[in-house]
Amino acid sequence: MAFDISRRLALKGMMNGAAITVGVPLLDIFLDGNGVAMAATGAPVPVRFGTWFWGLGVNPSRWFPDNPGPGYDLKPELEVIKDHAHKINILGNFNVMLDGAPNLPHTSGGPAIRTGRALTAEGGLPGESFDVTIGDRIGTRTRFRSLETSASGDPRNSLSGRGGGNLNPSEGSAAGLYKRLFGTGFKDPNSADFTPDPEVMARRSVLSAVTDQRKALEGAVGAADRQKLDQYFTSVRQLENQLDVELTRPQPLQACLVPQPVADRAINAEIENVVANHALMTDLLVMALACDQTRVFNMMFNNGASSLTRIGSTITHHQLTHEEALDNRLGYQPEATYFLNRIFEAWTYFVAALDKVQEGDRTLLDNTLVFAHSETEFAKFHTIDNIPMMTAGSAGGRIKTGIYVDGLGTPISRVGLTLQQVMGVPIDKWGAKSMETGKSIGELVA
Contact mark string toward another protein, 90..119, x via CB under 8 A:
------------xxxx--x-----------
Closest to another protein by CB, 87 vs 145, is 145
C-alpha separations of 344 from 213, 237, 238, 337, 401 in Å: 49, 37, 34, 11, 18
Q: Please report whether residue 367 would count as binding another protein according to CB under 8 A.
A: no
- How far is the C-alpha of 323 from the C-alpha of 110, rounded, in Å? 23
Q: Please report whether residue 232 would count as binding another protein according to CB under 8 A.
A: yes
CB of 142 within 8 A of CB of 293?
Answer: yes
C-alpha separations of 393 from 358, 384, 400 in Å: 13, 25, 9
Of residues 242-301, those binding another protein (CB under 8 A)? 242, 268-270
- How far is the C-alpha of 439 from the C-alpha of 166, rounded, in Å? 28
- How far is the C-alpha of 384 from the C-alpha of 111, rounded, in Å? 12
Q: Please report whether residue 174 would count as binding another protein according to CB under 8 A.
A: no
- Name the 3-class secondary structure at 346: helix
Choose, by CB under 8 A, the member of 82, 156, 249, 356 that binds another protein.
156
Residue 180 region, left (φ>0) first, then alpha (ψ -120 to 50), else beta? alpha
Q: Please report whether residue 221 would count as binding another protein according to CB under 8 A.
A: yes
Choose, by CB under 8 A, the member of 164, 250, 304, 411 that binds another protein.
164
C-alpha separations of 414 from 94, 136, 208, 321 in Å: 8, 20, 40, 29
Q: Please report whether residue 197 would count as binding another protein according to CB under 8 A.
A: no
Closest to another protein by CB, 75 vs 214, is 214
- DSSP secondary structure letters along 43-93: SEEE-EEEEEE-SSB--GGGTS-SS-EESPPPPGGGGGGGGGGGGEEEEEE
Choose, by CB under 8 A, the member of 70, 155, 261, 334 that binds another protein.
155
CB of 361 to another protein, least distance (A): 33
- DSSP secondary structure letters along 101-136: ----TTTSHHHHHHHSS---SSSSBSS--HHHHHHH
Q: Please report whether residue 162 would count as binding another protein according to CB under 8 A.
A: yes
Closest to another protein by CB, 62 vs 203, is 203
Residue 201 region, left (φ>0) first, then alpha (ψ -120 to 50), else beta? alpha
Q: Please report whether residue 231 would count as binding another protein according to CB under 8 A.
A: yes
Choose, by CB under 8 A, the member of 121, 253, 279, 352 that binds another protein.
121
Choose, by CB under 8 A, the member of 100, 223, 426, 442 that binds another protein.
223
CB of 29 to another protein, least distance (A): 16
Q: Please report whether residue 420 would count as binding another protein according to CB under 8 A.
A: no
Q: Please report whether residue 176 would count as binding another protein according to CB under 8 A.
A: yes
Q: Please report whether residue 408 would count as binding another protein according to CB under 8 A.
A: no
Q: Please report whether residue 40 would count as binding another protein according to CB under 8 A.
A: no
* Element (DSSP H or E) covering residue 407: strand 403-411
Closest to another protein by CB, 59 vs 316, is 316
Among the candidate windows 42-50, 195-203, 348-356, 412-420, which touches another protein by CB under 8 A? 195-203
Choose, by CB under 8 A, the member of 5, 29, 40, 263 that binds another protein.
5
- CA 78, 80, 82, 84 torsion: positive or negative? negative
- How far is the C-alpha of 167 from the C-alpha of 24, rounded, in Å? 12
Of residues 372-391, those binding another protein (CB under 8 A)? 380-384
Q: Please report whether residue 440 would count as binding another protein according to CB under 8 A.
A: no
Contact mark string toward another protein, 301..340, x via CB under 8 A:
------x-x-xxxxxx--x--xxxxx--------------
Q: Who contacts 105 (Cβ-Cβ below 8 Å, separation ≥6)?
A: 305, 376, 382
Q: Total binding residues for another protein by CB under 8 A?
A: 102
CB of 163 to another protein, least distance (A): 9
